[in-house]
Amino acid sequence: AATLREAADAKGKFIGTAVADHRLSDSRYNNIAANEFNSVTAENVMKWDSIQPSRGSFNFAAGDRLVDFAQANGQQVYGHTLVWHSQLPSWVSNGGFNATELNTIMTTHITEVMNHYEGDVEYWDVVNEVFNEDGTLRQSVFQQTIGQSYIANAFRAADAADPNAKLCINDYNVEGDNAKSDGLYNLVQSLLGQGVPIDCVGLQSHFILDQIPSTLQANMQRFAALGLEVNITELDIRINMPADSAELQRQATQFGNVVSACLAVSACQGVTVWGFGDADSWVPGVFPGQGAACLYDDNYNAKPSYNGVLTALGGT
Ligand code: G3I
């Protein structure tokens, strides 16, 4: 197989990327997104502040562009994200709503968005980043106002809105065995015990070079043993800049190891990278002095990491 998507297709898996809506007009960007990946995730345009910036006014235009792009290129769409404390408009976070009101607002958002995209979006990150690092629940406006039941409520609303979509919980720093992933494990086990419709766990996988958790595959396996799908949803591996060639080679090996961990766990259906070009990555803006976290360099030339992923997928 000559492309990542051909290699992934041959394995029956997906290889995805986050797509930045404003970059699709660049032909180099557009061609790589179309030709190398069989799954796409909106980097920003399906988030709450983008879709429902003020109460009751829904803006689906940018999300629809991604769906059109995916359909034109025979790709699956991985929906990101319905309920998240970030990129949440202030009319929600500072609205002063009581529990009943906020629950209605949350349920309405889930229902409207999922109904709009029903049949076009295979997965939804129903809740995103609900944990603190110690495994307790983050004090988001939803947790503070509604309490922990907001999570079950969100999944039930999602299942009612689109019974065919796969419903996921997604987080970062839960890739290895640690207090946060234990919190996630205990929550999903308890939700399943209550009959809450949850299908999948997303491990974001924003990694640092040489710090990929050694327990990644075992951790994936324990979620799989609960009967859940477990996917890598936002993979990147950042390096202290400037990155030298030895570091780029190690990065290639480590990208390949993450893909191999997914392939070794039958409940892992695929890996999504959080953007493919270093020039577009969120990393330097949030971690000054770090970067080079992706599969292509600033000029969209494939890096060793591209070959690391391709080889792990069985391509050449
Ligand atoms: O849309 C505004 C634009 O109007 C304004 O002019 C511009 C000026 O800064 O900002 C634009 O918003 C930016 C937005 O991306 C869209 O480009 C925000 O400032 C910027 O903070 C935002 O960053 C995104 C970030 O999520 C927000 O938390 C990144 O692109 C996106 O890659 C990142 O993705 C997250 C996942 O959703 C969840 N997991 C972590 C991951 C990385 O942080």
Q: Convert the pLDDT of each residue in 246-284 to its tens digit.
A: 999 999 999 999 999 999 999 999 999 999 999 999 999
CB-based burial, 270-295: b 16+ in 10 Å, e otherwise: bbbbbbbbbbbbbbbeeeeebbbbbb
For the cut 70, the answer to whether the pLDDT of residue 71 exceeds it is yes
**According to the model, what pLDDT value does residue 149 have?**
98
Cβ–Cβ < 8 Å for 41, 20:
no
Q: Residues of the chain with pLDDT > 90: what percent?
A: 99
Separation CA 73–CA 34 (nearest Å): 6
For the cut 90, the answer to whether the pLDDT of residue 92 exceeds it is yes
Pocket test for ligand 1, best of 17, 21, 44 (most atoms within 8 A of CB): 44
Task: Say yes or no: CB of residue 87 within 6 Å of ligand 1.
Answer: yes
Residue nearest to atom 22 of ligand 1 (CA): 44
Task: Say yes or no: CB of residue 43 within 6 Å of ligand 1.
Answer: yes
Nearest to 168 by CA among 51, 60, 236, 269: 269
Q: Residues of the chain with pLDDT > 70: what percent?
A: 100
Task: Say yes or no: CB of residue 149 within 6 Å of ligand 1.
Answer: no
User: How remote is the CA of residue 100 from the centroid of ligand 1, in Å?
Assistant: 30
Residue 304 CA, distance from chain mean position: 23
Cβ–Cβ < 8 Å for 16, 38:
yes
Domain CATH number, residue 44: 3.20.20.80
Task: Say yes or no: CB of residue 17 within 6 Å of ligand 1.
Answer: no
Confidence of residue 1 (pLDDT cuts 50, 70, 90): low
**According to the model, what pLDDT value does residue 8 have?**
98
For the cut 80, the answer to whether the pLDDT of residue 5 exceeds it is yes
Q: For the chain, what is the domain count?
A: 1
User: Quick one: the chain helix, strand, coil %, rounded to 5?
Assistant: 45, 20, 35
| Domain containing residue 307 | 4-312
Is 234 an active-site residue? yes
Cβ-Cβ contacts under 8 Å for 12 (sequence gap 6 or more): none
Cβ–Cβ < 8 Å for 314, 10:
yes
Pocket test for ligand 1, best of 23, 282, 286, 294 (most atoms within 8 A of CB): 282
Atom number of ligand 1 nearest to Cα 128: 38
Rounded mean pLDDT, 18-36: 98
Task: Say yes or no: CB of residue 22 within 6 Å of ligand 1.
Answer: no
pLDDT tens track for 175-206: 999 999 999 999 999 999 999 999 999 999 99
Tell me the pairing of strands 200-203 and 206-208: unpaired
Residue of 129, 175, 234, 247 with catalytic role: 234
Nearest to 292 by CA among 246, 258, 261: 246
Helix axes 179-193, 216-224, angle to 10 degrees: 10
pLDDT tens track for 205-218: 999 999 999 999 99
**According to the model, what pLDDT value does residue 205 have?**
99
Task: Say yes or no: CB of residue 282 within 6 Å of ligand 1.
Answer: yes
Cβ–Cβ < 8 Å for 129, 171:
yes
Pocket test for ligand 1, best of 19, 21, 22, 43 (most atoms within 8 A of CB): 43
Q: ipTM of this complex > 0.90?
A: yes
Nearest to 159 by CA among 185, 131, 124: 124
pLDDT tens track for 148-163: 999 999 999 999 999 9
